[in-house]
Chains A and B, each alone.
Chain A
Amino acid sequence: MISNQSSSNSNAFAELSIRADYTEIRIASTWLAQTCLGFSVPVGQIDRLDICLNEALANIIEHGGDEVTLSPINLRIQINNDSFSSEVAVTVSDSGKAFNPLTFEQKDRAHLLENTEPGGLGLTMMKEFVDKLNYLYSDKFNHLIFSVRWDCN
């Protein structure tokens, strides 16, 4: 685990590298919470980011293939403040198989318990709990960027 952090009056960022291993997800969550609390991000916004981060990392580790272990997963928190609002953006970069969660077609969910297949909820949670979700693939890395925004007053 490698971390880095910087801040000014209106902008700040922090970075962390983790291994592609399920046991590292909680480390990432703890880092996210501590970093955001240090920058006075409201707890409710941290919860939203945490949900998306957990699901993103679980997907990467489960579906990233052998390639995902070739490089650490890099995490970056970027905090932007202006007079009226604040935004926190989290970028998750991994060397796993290319996967765009924005274009992945999900099955319709069953409405009866007996017909429900466990699983497939992670993408739904990622899309529902953040304000913006973007994806790009460059230099053999997936980059997932998600953010939440809130008014200052």
Chain B
Amino acid sequence: MTIEFADLDENLRSISLTGRLDIQGTEEISVEFSALASAAKQNVVVDLAAVSFLASMGIRELISNAKALQRRGGRMVLYVGDNALIAKILETTNISELLPLFRVKVEAEKAALA
């Protein structure tokens, strides 16, 4: 599991995850993901387009960090690109009701700043 980030402007950070976000993968990125999501930037786009698998543990990681971000006045949105498996998991579990889900990156970035 790899994690990268880019600051797109003073209020927006993109965090990109690559690999298998199962229990093992979630443990591998958890500390760094929380640190990146809670840093100075208020809004975060989490790029899941290159995530090959998403277990409930990975979803818990997204939810708990999104809640923490919201408590500080920020917002987290998800970008999945054309990753049909990840989109289906997030839609089936209704996580897309809680964390806005986008297939187009520009739209995700706009929504995060809205």
Contacts and interface: CB of A to CB of B under 8 A. Distances in A.
Interface of A: 22-23, 25-26, 29, 47, 50-51, 54-55, 58, 109-114, 116, 118-119, 121-122, 124-125, 128-129
B63 interface: yes
Contacts of B89: 51, 125
Contacts of B63: 113, 116, 118
Contacts of B66: 113
B85 A47 contact: yes
Interface string B69-96: 0110000000000000100010011110
Contacts of A58: 23, 55-57
B93 A124 contact: yes
Interface in B83-114: 85, 89, 92-95, 97-99
B24 interface: yes
Given A22-B24, A58-B55, A121-B59, A114 B67 contact: yes
12 contacts: A22-B23, A23-B24, A25-B22, A26-B20, A29-B53, A51-B89, A109-B94, A110-B98, A111-B98, A112-B98, A128-B92, A128-B93
Contact of B98 (A50, A113, A122, A124): A113
